[in-house]
Structure 1
């Protein structure tokens, strides 16, 4: 069992960290305040090859896996990007590279994968106002008319839809049957500038630099070759993508928690009260030591899940557990950072309040703590289904 990154992985992590340092804490504070997409960083990451991490080499990518995605994500977050920086990878290697590589036709791969490696953004149109995390309950429809599909419905919390080139859209192609809620759902790669698509950003608490949107599909017509995978099997196609989403959404709060801990440790070492550094007090030091141990423990599960996925093995439990544990560890680290800084923890200039707001999202999305526990209880422990 290997607990070290390979030389190539270490090199990629260093390069990602160097890029991230060019877009440090002040950059992200400004993007948070203006709610502006970090296009400059996206372009630099694309030029360095990171948006083609999972794209096969024959299509212009790096041909690597989730272990490399995790390594890069951890560097992007800890070196200043917090939550938003590493989340850029979902719009390239994960939702784009992996989804199309695994389920796309040869024609789709030849057409779309080189675009993704060159920086085309792909977001995921999954969640709906009435369905939430109940994916089988979606109401968006895609009706076949001749050699086209006509899509109607509304998606919500589609991160990056306002800047993406494509939306991988989940829609129902046949009515829900008795006892077969997960069947009759299909995946489509929809150009975001298609006629009938309207996008509006949602005012929100966290991750403001990466806007999340409501997307309305009003008689959106796409050709037959927009279908990704087999018609009616979209839910099952999506499961692999959701595992990779959970893995990166474990790395994201983990890296943000590491950044918050770094800021707290620096402050505790410099700030003096009662004629001594506050970090000398066990009441300050011990919570930070706990966070260090919790973050390192969560990191092991993140890499385990990524390793299993790259080996082609089932990683459903590990991906969910990694996301659950990393989200808690990251949030606790940010919470302890705010406590360490005291009043200054609420000041924008010290950055931990932004990390606190941002990392809280990981307890809810892309899958809630409660649904992870329900999954493990039912599918791993074999207990009766609770939902």
Structure 2
């Protein structure tokens, strides 16, 4: 296997690094404190083509694959952006993937150039009672002539306040108890429609990318905004979830590398008991362990991205990359806090924010436990446990 990047891929990495380096840790702390969307970073990423990375060139995108997306996310996270910075690339990927794979020609011609140009597409999948059980959603979409009328509530819709559209999953048929995954459809919902109410959720982490409860009260959507086949929306969204999980493998790894850099710099300078604390194996070994774990998780990440780009089945690898990336990133940030000691809790050293942010990766977009249950069932042939 060739691990060498092409010159074009290295240039992409350098560009992502340069953009991220232009927004230092103080910038992200301020955005976090104010719960303010990082419009400046979004605009720079859009101008450089990162928002449209996976969109084909004929629709205004860059035409790259998941390998390039992962490489960019790692650079953005490590060089200042952390979890929030790298997660900016998740929304356009999720918003475009289903349209690329299942959308009509008219939908591709209309929406893909918009996404590549920076129009924000939020994602409305999770519901208060369903959580990660996507097949358990209750939102309805009833046909009324050439429109669908949506009713229900979504939760944890990140970026709904800056989005022009929300890609929304809703039930268009009752199905039956044995086939819960059927009768679900996928829609592109404009956020300026009557009946749409957005309520902010105060939360622990990733505060500059605010999340919302979104209430749909007789929200009308034209039938041409249905993505793919009616009743097949759950299956249409599966490929989208793989891209999300792969990128959410990269995000905590990059954040962990950033925290590790901060911890190493601190350990090299901080003196206690008349010696640099970085001389002590009790400080060195945890940081060295994290470096090894982050590098190992990165290998799994690139394998998942490569399989996706090859059109191969990558469900196990996408889930595994997210699982090990989240754990390695979390442990790296936790060890950074331990290295800084009391100063690890101080805003000025930034690891406390990274700690809050990276903890999310073990819960969302899919929890550690659900990933393990999936691998146990589909790879180890153990009985289904959920």
Q: TM-score range by the shorter chain?
A: over 0.9
> 2:177 — aligned with what?
178
- In structure 2, C-alpha distance between the alignment counterparts of 1:98 and 1:149, rounded to whole Å: 22
Q: CA deviation at 1:275?
A: 1.0
What per-residue deviation string (whole Å, max 9, x for no partner) do you get for residues 301-354 of structure 1?
001000000000000000000000000000000000000000000000000000
Tell me, what secondary structure is at the counterpart of 2:88? Answer: helix
Alignment partner, residue 245 of structure 1: 244
Runs of 4+ deviating beyond 2 Å: none
2:172–2:231 CA contact under 8 A, matched in 1 = yes
- 8 Å contact 2:138–2:171 — kept in the other structure? yes
TM-score by length of 1: 0.99
State the 1:5 CA deviation. Answer: 1.9
**Alpha-carbon RMSD:** 0.7
Shift of 1:90: 1.1
Q: Is the 8 A contact 2:94 2:241 kept in 1?
A: no
Query: Aligned residue for 1:62?
Result: 62
SS in 2 for 1:98: helix
> Residue by residue, what CA displacement relative to the aligned partner does 1:367-386 show, whole Å, maximum 9, x if unpaired?
00000000000011111100
Rounded to whole Å, the distance in 2 between the matches of 1:378 and 1:2 is 32
Gaps of 5+ in 1: none
Residue 138 of structure 1 pairs with residue 156 of structure 2: no
Alignment-derived partner of residue 28 in structure 1: 28
Measured in 2, the distance between the counterparts of 1:72 and 1:362 equals 18
> Helix, strand or coil for the counterpart of 1:23?
coil
In the TM superposition, what whole-angstrom CA distance separates every residue of 1:68-108 from its partner, at most 9, and x where no partner exists?
1100000100000000001000121x112222111110000
In 2, Cα distance between equivalents of 1:272 and 1:99: 53
CA distance in 1, matches of 2:381, 2:168: 32
Q: Which residue of 1 aligns with 2:106?
A: 107
Paired position in structure 2 for 1:10: 10
Looking at structure 1, the residues matched to 2 and 8 of structure 2 have their Cα atoms a distance apart, in angstroms, of 15
> What secondary structure sits across from 1:80 in the alignment?
helix
* Corresponding residue for residue 320 of structure 2: 321
Q: What SS class does the counterpart of residue 200 from structure 1 fall into?
A: strand
Where structure 2 has 5 or more consecutive residues not aligned to the other structure, the ranges are none
Is 2:49 aligned against 1:49? yes
What does residue 200 of structure 2 align with?
201
Residue 64 of structure 1 deviates from its aligned partner by: 0.9
How far does residue 4 in structure 1 lie from its aligned partner after superposition? 2.1
Measured in 2, the distance between the counterparts of 1:147 and 1:250 equals: 40
Query: Aligned with 2:377: secondary structure?
Result: helix
The answer to whether the Cα contact below 8 Å between 2:83 and 2:206 also exists between their aligned partners in 1 is: yes
**C-alpha displacement of 1:195:** 1.2
- Once the two structures are TM-superposed, the CA of residue 9 in structure 1 deviates from its matched residue by 1.1
Instruction: Measure, in 2, the Cα distance between the counterparts of 1:176 and 1:370.
Output: 28
Q: Which residue of 2 aligns with 1:150?
A: 149
Mapping 1:124-135, distance limit 5 Å: 124-135=123-134
Which residue of 1 is the match for residue 227 of structure 2?
A: 228
Shift of 1:32: 0.4
Which structure 2 residues correspond to residues 300-315 of structure 1 after superposition, within 5 A?
A: 300-315=299-314
Deviates more, 1:3-12 or 1:236-245: 3-12
Q: Does 1:278 align with 2:272?
A: no
Instruction: State the alpha-carbon separation in 2 of the partners of residues 59 and 326 from structure 1.
Output: 32
Deviation track 1:195-215 (CA, whole Å, cap 9, x = no partner) reads 111111100000001001100
> CA separation in 2, counterparts of 1:176 and 1:276?
68
Give the aligned partner of residue 257 of structure 2.
Answer: 258
Q: Which residue matches 1:383? A: 382
Distance in 1 (CA, whole Å) between partners of 2:356 and 2:192 is: 32
The TM-score with structure 2 as length reference comes to: 0.99
How many corresponding residue pairs? Answer: 386
